[in-house]
A = this chain, B = another copy of it.
């Protein structure tokens, strides 16, 4: 690992407030000598949090124009496992082209590289680097730093996570074996009657499990309970 980035990991580990995230992104930008570094994070309750070097005008415009719903970077990363060079994305739609032009006008670089990382409970994070460079230059930059940046992204996430769920992991509700089995069957598309038959219990009993699980999960209805159980990783389908 490049020694300058080695040191930078220490900087991340000392982040203790949201504001420090901002400083850390600035630090990384200056270290790599590029135009922008942005860290974007969606926590387990769907709250978005961003820290980075984009101008506040661009951030406001991005939110105002609801670019979240058309940004090919965000969209591409939602469907991907691996980091992505922006050039590889699909910019063919009219909306995407307009968005890219708008971004350029607001100081975002013409090149970009984004690392997506996912956690349990729908946690989703992006570390984005942007710069003005030729395709070749950018390719070389990525080749040089991609592995280091992966580590940096993970360190950022570790910090973000520590803010999200301070303390224990095992805090959420737990389901009994029969409740888990019942909810899992329902999540697989079984009706109550089918699920009861599968579990060889009366439909009445199955209802008790579902209701019990629903209460534990604080869910409004069965569908909500299934969604929460899935999000919390309590069941696997």
Which A residues fall within an 8 A CB radius of B? 1, 42, 46, 69, 75-76, 78-82, 90, 117-124, 147, 150-151, 154, 157-158, 161, 169-170, 177, 180, 186-191, 219-224, 226-228, 230-233, 236-237
Closest to A181 in B: B69
Q: Are A81 and B150 touching (Cβ within 8 A)?
A: no
- Please name all residues of chain B whose beta carbon is closer than 8 Å to the beta carbon of A219 when the two chains form the complex: 189
**A74's closest neighbor in chain B, by CB?**
B236
Residue pair A169, B80 in contact (C-beta under 8 Å):
yes
Given contacts A46-B237, A189-B221, contact A78 B120 (CB under 8 A): yes
Q: Are B233 and A78 in contact (CB under 8 A)?
A: yes
Residue of B nearest to A236 (CB): B122
Q: 6 A-B pairs, CB-CB below 8 angstroms?
A: A46-B237, A76-B169, A79-B169, A82-B157, A118-B120, A189-B220
A236 touching B42 in the complex, CB below 8 Å, given contacts A187-B227, A226-B223, A227-B227: yes
Q: Which residues of B contact A46 (CB under 8 A)?
A: 236-237
A228 to B189, CA, bound (A): 9
Among B120, B154, B221, B226, the residue within 8 A (CB) of A227 is B226
Instruction: Decide if B42 touches A120 in the complex (CB within 8 Å).
Output: no
Among residues of B, the one whose C-beta sits closest to the C-beta of A191 is B221
